[in-house]
Amino acid sequence: MNSKTQNKIAIGGLYGIAGLVVLILLALLGYILVSGVPQLSWHFLTAPGKAFLKGGGVGIQLYNSFYLLILAMLISFPIALGAAVYLYEYAKDNWVTTTIRTAIEILSSLPSVVVGLFGFLFFVVKLHLGFSILSGAFALTFFNLPLLTRSIEDSLRTISDVQREGGLALGLSRWETVTRVILPAAVPSILTGVILSAGRVFGEAAALIYTAGQSAPALDFTDWNPFNISSPLNPMRPAETLAVHIWKINSEGIMPDAKAISSGSSAVLVIAILLFNFAARYLGKRLYKRLTSA
């Protein structure tokens, strides 16, 4: 067999494998969307759920998902940013940083249900936060922190060292070089990383079941005082998210249209995550373009 035929066979094989992956993905997405999209309506997206009757919506769960996501990001982003800047820009290669990196690796490969149970024992029970948005946000922070730190560190790595030298040679201090040259230059790729990790957080269920809880008390969307129990902003109320909702209906849902609600919720979740991904790409590209050429 000559090298030309070999090449053809290899390429054919690779095409086949790639095609298979795409096919599986399309089948999965197609199934979720085809069975879910017909359930979607304005009513479904905004109405509160019903426990025993048909015709409930996922409005509260959807809202909870976003609120929890924002809180989790507010907590984890500054920490991840600081950790990544320290690790990449300041830390010397020694056993301390190696230990930190290993810890991050391990943390990132922790099963999310373990993170959830830890959150339950520590935040819910030990710190008396109860099943609450806050407990959930902390658990998500644990889940998200290693991934986000890694992705920000990777973003910093893409900024060439000649930029750092340029800043320092200009008489900027290291801190000024990092904050005024490196971070602005890394913004597009950091943003992409943040949005992608937001997608993962948005779809997370296992870490939340035992922390943010599985109930979605009715919310009064006219009451914005965070200390009232029915206020959407109250961080101490239990809050079932969309992903948890899907898990729950499928395991113990007793409403007559459980199947439809589950399909619809899945579709909403998938569409939201797809939107995150597209937004990440679009914004990242646009920002990069704006920064690099007029």
Partner 1 sequence: MKEEILTTQDLHLYYGDKEALKGINLNFDEKGITALIGPSGCGKSTYLRTLNRMNDLIPNVTITGTIKFKGDDLYAPSADTVQIRKEIGMVFQQPNPFPFSIYDNVIYGLRIAGEKDKEKLDAVVEKSLRQAAVWDEVKDHLHESALALSGGQQQRVCIARVLAVSPEIILLDEPTSALDPVSSSQIEATLLNLRHDYTIIIVTHNLQQASRIADRTAFFMNGELIEVDQTKNIFMNPANKQTEDYISGRFG
**Site residues (CB under 8 A) for partner 1?**
92-93, 160, 162-173, 176, 180-181, 184-185, 290-294
In the complex, minimum distance from the CB of residue 178 to partner 1, in angstroms, rounded to a whole number: 12
User: Which three-class secondary structure string do you get for 175-242?
Assistant: HHHHHHHHHHHHHHHHHHHHHHHHHHHHCCCHHHHCCCCCCCCCCCCCCCCCCCCCCCCCCCCCCCCH
167 and 186 Cβ atoms separated by less than 8 Å: no
Q: Token pair of 93, please?
A: 């290669």
User: How far is 88 from 83, CA to CA, in rounded Å?
Assistant: 8
Rank residues 160 and 228 by Cβ distance to partner 1 and give the closer one.
160
- If the CB atoms of residues 222 and 292 are measured against partner 1, the closer one turns out to be 292
What tokens does 13 get? 């094989």
**Closer by beta carbon to partner 1, 51 or else 294:** 294
Q: Give the nearer residue to partner 1 in terms of CB position, either 163 or 230.
A: 163
Beta carbon nearer to partner 1, 122 or 288: 288
**Which positions ≥6 away from 220 have C-beta within 8 Å?**
228, 230, 231, 232
Q: How far is the C-alpha of 140 from the C-alpha of 75, rounded, in Å? A: 9
- Closest approach of partner 1 to the CB of residue 97, in Å: 13
Q: Radius of gyration of the chain from Cα atoms?
A: 23
Query: Minimum CB separation from partner 1 for residue 138, in Å?
Result: 36
| Min CB(185)–partner 1 separation in Å | 5
Q: Which is nearer to partner 1, 186 or 242 (CB)?
A: 186
What is the rounded distance in angstroms from the CA atom of residue 164 to the CA atom of residue 69? 34
Q: How far apart are CA 250 and CA 98, in angstroms?
A: 43
Q: Write down the least CB distance from residue 103 to partner 1, Å.
A: 23
In whole angstroms, the minimum distance from the beta carbon of 180 to partner 1 comes to: 6
